[in-house]
Structure formats: structure tokens, C-alpha cells
Amino acid sequence: MTKDIEKYDCIVAGAGFAGAVAARELAERGNKKVLLVEKRSHIGGNSYDELDDAGILIHKYGPHIFHTNLARAYNYLSRFTQWRDYQHEVAGNVYGKLIPVPFNLNSLHMVYESEKADRLEKMLVETYGMEKKVTILELKKDESPELAELADYVYRNVFLYYTQKQWGLAPEEIDPAVTARVPVFVSRDNRYFQDTYQGIPKDGYTPLFEKMLDHPNIEVLLNTDIKDVLGFEGGGLMFRGMPFSGTVIFTGAVDELFDYRLGQLPYRTLDFLFETYDMEWFQKYGTVNYTVDQDYTRITEFKHLSGQVNRNKTTIMKEYPRAYTGAEGQIPYYSINNPANDGLYEEYRQLTESFKDFHLLGRLAEYKYYNMDAIVFRALQLSDSLIDKEEH
């Protein structure tokens, strides 16, 4: 993708959704010459997908399902892809029985005998109404002991062990505020998301990124850490040893950028175990959560997501959460947001303030969890402000 752009107006670090959307906007709407620097050997960030050895389309960094109520994010991406209509369903494996998650009226009828399930359903519908999400905290406070018992069932069989594995916590370390928000969905809708727009890019995420970055004002430099080309000297930015006065958007980890000089920001990482089987289907659902046993949190079978047809082979992925140590090759996936860690992040953020026109964008650079739609939206907003500033 090398192009003959002699001088860059903007440098963007990271070719995930944050960096790619910003690069396209600045190049197209802002008419800027953009250099997009990516340290991996491919574009797409954590949304990258590729064919595995069996020819099955897999999501290398975990299963990604697009869902949003943000029309702007959906419409923007629709310029670069068509969509496969896919409504994700997740089941919880509770001692071998697969029940819809979030726990809903269908789950209710699978775990209780019919008379009790009918009675509980009637109480839920009369008290809270259909299509409502009720938290287990609300149910615990309900005057009916049977609804409090239901809350306890969901806490123990759907939430507790899964959350312990995900975050590496003992039960008493789990934030009560998180527990309080666990939902029971008073509905027969088994879909994991209820958003207006849902789907998977028809040809995959990587072709979407290829289209988005295919613009004469964008040059992509792979296998390059931004630190190899960008320096911070005497309060100014240097690009390949020369002062750089253009816009810089950084979407990587800010502690790494500053060589961990204030300490390391804590994250959870994941080990992914891919397995290919000589069968058409491994499981009935896109994702099965292991909520009461196993060391992995969930198994995803990719053909459900992609719609790919292969009668002889299928590939699944098991996810093992771990503490992130910063070891070579480990990827920080989930920021661990609490007052101490957010405070450390804020100190790093302030270090960047002295650099003019230097912007932090994305799940790593902002040390917060973003869904894909939310980071697309945020990247569009940042681009708006940068382009507007130029125009006024």
C-alpha cells in the first residue's frame, strides 16, 4: 500500500476502527495527506478476520458482532460494506443444559417445572411488564420470596462464576454495583442484543477496512511501531527526526507510549484456543457461555456469525481470561477501571497535553471499553472537530 505521498499533514497510529475511521475522514473530508502507522502485520485492529488453515473465516482476536442504535455509525460503515443480517444468540451452559442468556422467560421454562415457571412468569409480567429488563437487585427486593429465589438462581448459575473467570476475582471482590445490574429479561426474545442495526460485514471485517483505507490521501505503514517514527522532544513532536507540526492521532496504549514511566496500567488479557472439527456444526448457538464450570468463559463457533457454508469442517474458539503482565506478545484487551487505575491513566493523559494537536482515541488510548459502533462514532466526532477547526 505504499504511495508517493511526499509530505504528511496527519499521522495516525493504529489501524483499528478508531484509527481507520479517523484516517479516512481526515483524508477525504479534510483533504489531508495521512500516514497510518500500524505495528501489527495487518489492518483491522482487534476486529481483524481471516481464513484459517481449514478455510473457515475466524475472528483472530475474539468474536465481533456489530450492533448499534447509532444511525451515524451504521450508515458510515455501510459505505464500505454490505451486511449479513445476523442476530446473535447466546446460551448459558448450566450443568449441560443450554438456556438463553440474558436469562429470559424461555430460560425460566427450561429451569423450573411448568407450574412454577407459569407462576413466576405471571408475576414477572404483571409486576414489571413484557419486554422489560429487571435487575436481580429489584427482584431480590420483591415481596414475593419466589422472585427473590429466582434472582438468586440467576446470580449463582448465570453470573457469578462467569464473572469470576472474566475478571479473576473472588466472589466478595465483585463490585456489588455490577451484581445489582445483572438482568432478567421479561421477554421471549432470545437475541443477545435488541439494537436497531445488527449484523456482520458480508465479506468480513478485513475487506471493510481495506475499502475504508483505499483512498489516494492515505498511506498505510504496517509492522511499524509509532515510537520508531515519532519522537517527543523538548515539548515538540518529531517525525523521522524532523519537527512535525501536523495532527497526530494515537490509538495505542498511552503507558507504553511513555515507556511506563508512571507505572503500568492494569488490563485483562485473553488466551484464545482455536479448534477445528470434521463436522458441520459443533454447537447450536453462535456463543455458549460456560457459567458454572470449565476454565474458559465461552465457546464461539464462527460459521454461525459469518454464514459461511462448509458441511465438513467447523472452527470454534475458547476464551481463557488472564491477568495482563505486559509479556512479549500479550495483548491488553479489557481495561480494569477503578478510581486508582483511572487516576493513573489521567496522569498519563496529562503528559500528552503539552503536545499541540496530539489526540488520544480508542479503547487503549482512552483506557475504556468501547464497542465498535461507539468508537466509530467517537472517531467521527473527533474528525468533525478537527476538520471544523480547519474550516473556521
**Site for ligand FAD contains 297 (CB under 6 A):** no
**Site for ligand FAD contains 27 (CB under 6 A):** no
**Site for ligand FAD contains 360 (CB under 6 A):** no
**Site for ligand FAD contains 40 (CB under 6 A):** yes
**Site for ligand FAD contains 45 (CB under 6 A):** yes
Q: 109 or 227, CB closer to ligand FAD?
A: 227
Q: How far is the CB of 18 from ligand FAD (least distance, A)?
A: 3
Cell matching residue 277: 472439527
Q: 62, 207, 231, 326: which one contacts ligand FAD (CB under 6 A)?
A: 62
Q: 62 or 207, CB closer to ligand FAD?
A: 62
Using the rule CB under 6 A, give the single segment among 60-68, 94-102, 335-343, 348-356 that binds ligand FAD.
Answer: 60-68
* C-alpha–C-alpha distance, residues 243 and 227, integer Å: 15
Contact 381, 387 (CB under 8 A): no
**Longest distance between any two alpha carbons in the chain, whole Å:** 76
Element (H, E) at 76: helix 71-78
> Residues 6 or more apart from 208 whose CB is under 8 A from it?
77, 80, 81, 201
Site for ligand FAD in 212-231 (CB under 6 A): 225-227
Q: 13 or 120, CB closer to ligand FAD?
A: 13
Element (H, E) at 50: strand 49-51
> Residues 6 or more apart from 384 whose CB is under 8 A from it?
none
* C-alpha–C-alpha distance, residues 197 and 364, integer Å: 25
Q: How far is the CB of 152 from ligand FAD (least distance, A)?
A: 29
> Residues 6 or more apart from 200 whose CB is under 8 A from it?
64, 65, 66, 83, 84, 86, 305, 306, 307
Grouping H, G, I as helix, E, B as strand and the rest as coil, residue 336 is: coil
3-state SS of 195-223 is CCEEEEECCCHHHHHHHHHCCCCEEEECC
**Site for ligand FAD contains 13 (CB under 6 A):** yes
Site for ligand FAD in 327-346 (CB under 6 A): 333
* C-alpha–C-alpha distance, residues 22 and 76, integer Å: 12
**Site for ligand FAD contains 304 (CB under 6 A):** no
Q: 363, 367, 377, 380: which one contacts ligand FAD (CB under 6 A)?
A: 363
x/- map, 64-103, ligand FAD, by CB under 6 A: xxx-------------------------------------
Q: How far is the CB of 277 from ligand FAD (least distance, A)?
A: 22
Positions that interact with ligand FAD (CB under 6 A)? 13-19, 37-40, 45-47, 62-66, 225-227, 251-252, 270, 333, 362-363, 370-373, 375
